[in-house]
Structure 1
Amino acid sequence: MSQQTLAHFVLERNIRHSPRRSPLRTLHTSLSGSDAVASPMSPDEEVIRQRGQIRTSPRKRAFQTSTPAITDIGLLDTSLDTSTTSSSGSHTPTRKSAADGVRKRLMLSTSYISSDPEDSPCPKGLTQSAAKKRKSNKGTSEMPVSINKRLSALSSEQLTELLGNLINKHPDLKEEVEKSLPKPDIGHLMDNLEYFRKNIFKSLPNSRWGSSRDAFCFRRVKTHVENFKSTCISQGKQLQDAGSWEASLEYILQAWECVGNTPDWDNVAHNKSKEMCFRNLATQCKKSIKESSLDKDAYISIKDRLEEAVSTNNQISPCIEIVDKKIQKIK
């Protein structure tokens, strides 16, 4: 019998009669002698070897090999002595000393964190910059607010009352204030009027099969039409009450064009608001021309613009005759 056959025979006998021993250990024992000869591993031996290995999941093996051990400081037994002396006299630290060292390091690392920002240490440059910023904020807060900013926060009624009180207390300022009064700006008045005009067209329904100027559409925008009419008339009257005749003429000419761009309705009765705007503006224009005192070139320019306005509505045509009389009086 050859040595290889003898080795297999011994292996099989050990597996049958000694089930508690590891097959790999039996194989190693049987072949560890001086007479053992290295032989290739058979498929049966490979299966036995794989069964004898400890089966662990890849995740557990990776955790055991790559993850460092984590010591829970809270679970350490603090009742042990800080150190023990071995029989040889050497000083051996215990678990408590290691925990104390970890605690000290944690205390040193967290000592920079404080609930109060003033108590927490910080770099010198940062502290100086923060102090400079606080000083600069204090300096800006203590600066007095300019009179122009304070006046801008007041309403027009408050400003009028303030200026009137100053003129009453100091009558000598009346003449100077009258000379310094600027020409009224009608830009905000026209923006307001244009806003109401756009609201009319925004409220018009989309009519694909019928007219967009019929009674149904008018009822949808009637409120906006009335708002436009009242705004147009009241703003012109406001300028006339202030005695700003030149600004009143400029407003009338611009508002005349704005009124002409409003819708013309199929029903004549629905155009009353538009006709009322033209009529009131024409009346205001007559009064403004009569009360105004402009130079000849200014009246000639107004006449040209009035002739253009007649093409929109002829109710303003009598104003042209009044301008001609003003031009003739000026030499």
Structure 2
Amino acid sequence: MNAFWITSPATATRSALREITRIAPGTPSSHNNILTQVMSFPTPPSSADEEVVRKRGKRTMPIPTAVELTPPRTPTKKARSPRKQLTPKKTTTPTKGSPVRSSPRKRLLLPADITDAISSSPTKRLVAPFKKLKLQLKEPNVHPTVALAALTKSQLISLIEDITDRFPTVSQAIGSLVPAPNLHHGEQKLNALLRNVYRSFPQKHWGNSRDAFCYRRVQLALEMFKEKCMSKARQLSEGEQWGALLEYVMLAWGFVKRLPDWEDPPHNKCKLTCFRSLAAHCMAALRKGNLESTQLEILVARFREMKDDSVCIMPCLKFAEATLLEAQRSS
């Protein structure tokens, strides 16, 4: 009987290594023989635990199908792109009529009056209306002149109206004691506003100082001057103080003519508006005021000087000359 030797993998490996040492290094077939012999060695069988570990490392993710990537389209709703699906929806700001939502924990922490206002209808106010305290006591020891200092202009006018209605004889005394309007404050205000106009000019500007660039820098100061000039004349006209109105027209005319003249004619609209407003108030004062001949002569001489500044005063000059001529004929 022939005896068969069963060789184990370790014995085969040792025999292969002996063959490697026998082959002389440097021969061309040495490397090929070594590789073929090593690759031909039988690999040892793996155990059950190694198979489990190998299967765990080869997990694969399921590949999504085309149906899962693109949602089905419906005839009433357009399909949204994956980018739009990933972007969060914008929360709209709550309107005034929309109810305010809050968690029960927050509602418990809030005061009672605020929770009642939130849970109520939107038309209900959050804060209760302020109630006036009835603490305005009548001070008997305060002098009337001291108490009048705390009143507004409308309260003073209504007070005088009540006094004249109760005591008709006092109306004539009050009319004779009413002083003439003080124009000194208006003069100071116009002077300050005129200085502000010239201060608004740019300090460093190469070119003409009356161009459009400088006008844009001075425009706001010009509007403030025009508003003050016209409001004071309107106040005197509403109070029917015709003599003081004529004095104010002469006073304000000198400030208006000192306003800068600009290159572009539309930029001179502010100055022209002031001249026209003063001329209109002057005409109203000439017609409604009872002027004497001496006063008309002074006004005619002054109007002739003012016509060089603006032709808006020409109707006033003609009316004053006609009234003066009629007064001289009647006398």
Q: Which TM-score bucket, shorter chain as reference?
A: 0.5 to 0.7
d(CA) in 2 for partners of 1:308 and 1:211?
29
Unaligned runs of 5+ in 2: 1-140
TM-score by length of 1: 0.53
d(CA) in 2 for partners of 1:311 and 1:193?
22
Deviation of 1:156 after TM superposition, in Å, equals 3.2
Deviation of 1:174 after TM superposition, in Å, equals 1.6
d(CA) in 2 for partners of 1:198 and 1:158?
35
- Are 2:251 and 1:257 aligned? no
Residue 227 of structure 2 corresponds to which residue in structure 1?
230
Residue 293 of structure 2 corresponds to which residue in structure 1?
296
Deviation of 1:231 after TM superposition, in Å, equals 1.6
- Which of residues 323, 328, 331 is equivalent to 2:325? 328
d(CA) in 1 for partners of 2:252 and 2:164?
34
Q: Deviations over 1:174-212 (max 9, x none)?
A: 222222222212221222222222211111111352222
Judge conservation of contact 1:206–1:212 (CA < 8 Å) in 2: no
Residue 203 of structure 2 corresponds to which residue in structure 1?
206
5 Å-filtered alignment, 1:21-170, equals 146-170=143-167
- Which of residues 187, 196, 200 is equivalent to 1:190? 187
- Rate the CA distance shift 1:174–1:329 in 2: closer, same or farther, 3 A: farther
Deviation of 1:288 after TM superposition, in Å, equals 0.8
Give the residue type in structure 1 aligned to 2:222. V
Paired positions, count: 189
Residue 285 of structure 1 corresponds to which residue in structure 2?
282
Deviation of 1:172 after TM superposition, in Å, equals 2.3
- Rate the CA distance shift 1:222–1:247 in 2: closer, same or farther, 3 A: same
Give the residue type in structure 2 aligned to 1:243. E
- Rate the CA distance shift 1:294–1:152 in 2: closer, same or farther, 3 A: farther
Deviation of 1:247 after TM superposition, in Å, equals 0.6
d(CA) in 2 for partners of 1:318 and 1:213?
30
Judge conservation of contact 1:260–1:312 (CA < 8 Å) in 2: yes
Name the structure with the higher helix share: 1
Identity of aligned residues (%): 32
TM-score by length of 2: 0.53
d(CA) in 1 for partners of 2:180 and 2:326?
25
Residue 13 of structure 1 corresponds to which residue in structure 2?
none
Give the residue type in structure 2 aligned to 1:231. K
- Are 2:260 and 1:240 aligned? no
Residue 215 of structure 1 corresponds to which residue in structure 2?
212
Deviation of 1:149 after TM superposition, in Å, equals 4.2
d(CA) in 2 for partners of 1:205 and 1:155?
41
| RMSD across aligned positions (CA) | 2.0
d(CA) in 2 for partners of 1:163 and 1:195?
34
Residue 175 of structure 1 corresponds to which residue in structure 2?
172
298-307 or 151-160: bigger deviation: 151-160
Q: Deviations over 1:267-312 (max 9, x none)?
A: 1111111111111111111111011102211111111111111121
d(CA) in 2 for partners of 1:213 and 1:207?
13
Secondary structure of the structure 2 residue equivalent to 1:183: coil
Residue 307 of structure 2 corresponds to which residue in structure 1?
310
Secondary structure of the structure 1 residue equivalent to 2:323: helix
Give the residue type in structure 1 aligned to 2:282. C
d(CA) in 1 for partners of 2:159 and 2:191?
31
Give the residue type in structure 2 aligned to 1:280. S
Judge conservation of contact 1:253–1:306 (CA < 8 Å) in 2: no
d(CA) in 1 for partners of 2:177 and 2:326?
28
Give the residue type in structure 1 aligned to 2:321. D
Give the residue type in structure 2 aligned to 1:291. K
Q: Deviations over 1:214-240 (max 9, x none)?
A: 111111121111111122112111111
Judge conservation of contact 1:310–1:316 (CA < 8 Å) in 2: yes
